[in-house]
Chains A and B, each alone.
Chain A
Amino acid sequence: MHLLKLDSVSRDFDVSRPWLNRVLEGEPQRILRAVDHVSFEVSKGETLALVGESGCGKSTVARLIAGLYTPSEGRIEFRGRRLQMIFQDPYASLNPRWRVSKIIAEPMMFLERGKPVGELLTQVGLSPDDAQRYPHEFSGGQRQRISIARALAGEPELLICDEPTSALDVSVQAQILNLMAELQERLGLTYLFISHNLAVVSLIADRVGVMYFGRIVELASTSDLFARPRHPYTRMLLDAVPDLEMSGKPRTPVAGEVPNPLAPPSGCSFHPRCPHANPRCQVEVPRFSDGVACHAVEEGRL
């Protein structure tokens, strides 16, 4: 039974130039489709990661689920009672004028009974004395802990994590990831984890969705995705990850750049960069079936 379900969700942004300029210069309206018919489900207790490069729409999906945007098309179904979100920038996600106690207590306004702030702080590895301090007195990693404490104060079933460790040093990241894993076990949380870092994702996710240009191109369990990536973009992404093991394995050269989002390629949006593209790929958008959206896979060419 799923906790969260997205059914063919799309989101458009109107990025047209101001009305007067448009009229004077005869420009058409410009619509950017940031999320394009995205569907997936998340079960209780699991961690689903959405991974992709900048501009692929993963952050927009997170915001759609959190209610910060409304879908232009499609439906979002959340079966739980409460969800919370933690953000990427530890410096902008806490109100600099509020004390930590006030920050953490805010979600509890909507609960009948909350937990003491001191307890929430201890839960994330901080001291109850920190409640009287202001955010600027803490380091980036500690601020993320405060953000997590705030999110947990709301007693959520689903926690949306938008690149929570991308702005942190690698050793601090390790602390936060360990903390999040521990909290998930202890409190039975469900995570939707957004990241551009495949290594982080391979560590904490149960299932991974790869996004490109607003669409999900592959969705599989973590072990399957990393052992047997099917979509050409997934393969390219995995190849591009710097090889810390220094195994010296040969890598397929990465081709091209992400196209202009206002002028998306026809058919499969990856075809200009895909080594396996055929004429069908240029015209027809691949259907998502069996965890991947790719003509080459469907036709058995890959």
Chain B
Amino acid sequence: MLRSIWNHDLAWSFRRSPVTIAAAVLTLVCVGAAALSPWIAPQNPFDAAALDLNAAFKPPAWVPGGEGAFVLGTDNQGRDILSTIMHGARISLGVGLASVLFALILGVSLGLLSGYLGGRLDAIIMRIADVQLSFPAILIALLIDGVARVALPSDRHDDIAIPVLVLAIGLAGWVHYARTVRGSTMIEKEKEYVQAARVIGRRPLAIMLSHVLPNVMGPVLVIGTIHIATAIITEATLSFLGVGVPATRPSLGTLIRVGNEFLYSGEWWITVFPGVALVILVLSVNLLGDWLRDALNPKLR
């Protein structure tokens, strides 16, 4: 079975592209480092007790004044930049994945229902989607975030900040999935295997989930991979603007914002390294998504 995966067209295309292999390796490294950060980061930067203010503003290890223990330097509170990046990436990735999952489930469900059942339901869902598309994602996220802040007492803010963020980014992104799935569903619905299932006596929900869904998921996977990159950037932007994750659990975006204040006083590493990390993470996910789309395309056609 492993051999059949290795010999499969997809794997063959993967093996042929060094860029893709590099991207995949990079993604794996980033994701691995981020996911395992509580265990493998040199320092836990959010444990106030472990911090030593004397270690603040240390430059990267290769610059005179740096220390080996703090490879990429420290910030204004003595936190090791490498560790903050790893933890921050964890938050960024976590929020990115969760919001994409949310958008995917919501979008695919609505797309399936819309495409298969048609009629009024389809019209309503598509009109909502159209309206939503006229708002940029950041705006929607800001809106939802703002509403949440007003509606909830301020001491609960930090607790629910991340779920609200996931909700906001997810709601900003479901339409793409819904539209794609709706189109594919409308095509599959007319195919004879679906009609055969109807003649056999399967109910619409069963047909949608067991027959149609597996056949429309292809493009969804591609959109999802690329969406992860977008979601991470959206979260970074929101955090940079101060309306994303709370300061106690900074993501890469927060780190960039916080570090920005020190850019002009010479401590460039506090903002630059988180920025570079973000770029690497997003780039590698994007490249992977690009390859996936191209590799799946002939089959989709």
Contacts and interface: CB of A to CB of B under 8 A. Distances in A.
Nearest to B202: A106
B3 interface: no
A68 B199 contact: yes
A93 B190 CA distance: 10
A87 B198 CA distance: 13
A98 B202 CA distance: 15
B200 A89 contact: no
A107 interface: yes
Interface string B214-250: 1100000000000000000000000000000000000
B197 interface: yes
Interface in A119-176: 147, 150, 154
A268 interface: no
Contacts, number: 49
A252 to B, nearest CB: 37
Interface of A, secondary structure class, is loop
A95 B200 contact: no
B192 A106 contact: no
Nearest to A107: B200
Contacts of A89: 192
Contacts of B196: 85, 87, 93, 147, 150
A106 B199 contact: no
Given A95-B211, A95-B215, A97-B215, A110 B192 contact: no
B301 interface: no
A93 B192 contact: yes
Contacts of B193: 92-96
Contact of B199 (A67, A88, A97): A67
A177 to B, nearest CB: 20
Interface in B184-220: 191-193, 195-202, 211, 214-215
Given A95-B211, A95-B215, A97-B215, A106 B200 contact: yes
Contacts of B202: 106, 109
Nearest to A97: B214
Nearest to A162: B192
Nearest to A153: B200
Interface residues of A, number: 24
A184 interface: no
B215 A96 contact: yes
B200 A154 contact: yes
Interface in A86-119: 87-89, 92-98, 106-107, 109-110
Interface in B138-196: 191-193, 195-196
Contact of A87 (B192, B200, B201, B211): B192
A94 B200 CA distance: 13
A101 B139 CA distance: 50
Contacts of B200: 84, 106-107, 109-110, 154
A223 B211 CA distance: 43
Interface in B18-46: none
B192 A84 contact: no
Contacts of B192: 87-89, 92-93
A89 B202 CA distance: 21
A48 B199 CA distance: 20
Q: Which of A63, A88, A106 has the most CB of B within 10 A?
A: A106
Interface of B: 191-193, 195-202, 211, 214-215
Given A85-B196, A85-B199, A106-B202, 7 more contacts: A68-B199, A93-B192, A93-B196, A95-B215, A98-B211, A109-B200, A109-B202
28 contacts: A63-B195, A67-B198, A67-B199, A68-B199, A84-B199, A84-B200, A85-B195, A85-B199, A87-B195, A89-B192, A93-B191, A93-B192, A93-B193, A94-B193, A95-B211, A95-B214, A95-B215, A96-B193, A96-B215, A97-B215, A98-B214, A106-B197, A106-B200, A107-B200, A109-B202, A110-B200, A147-B196, A154-B200
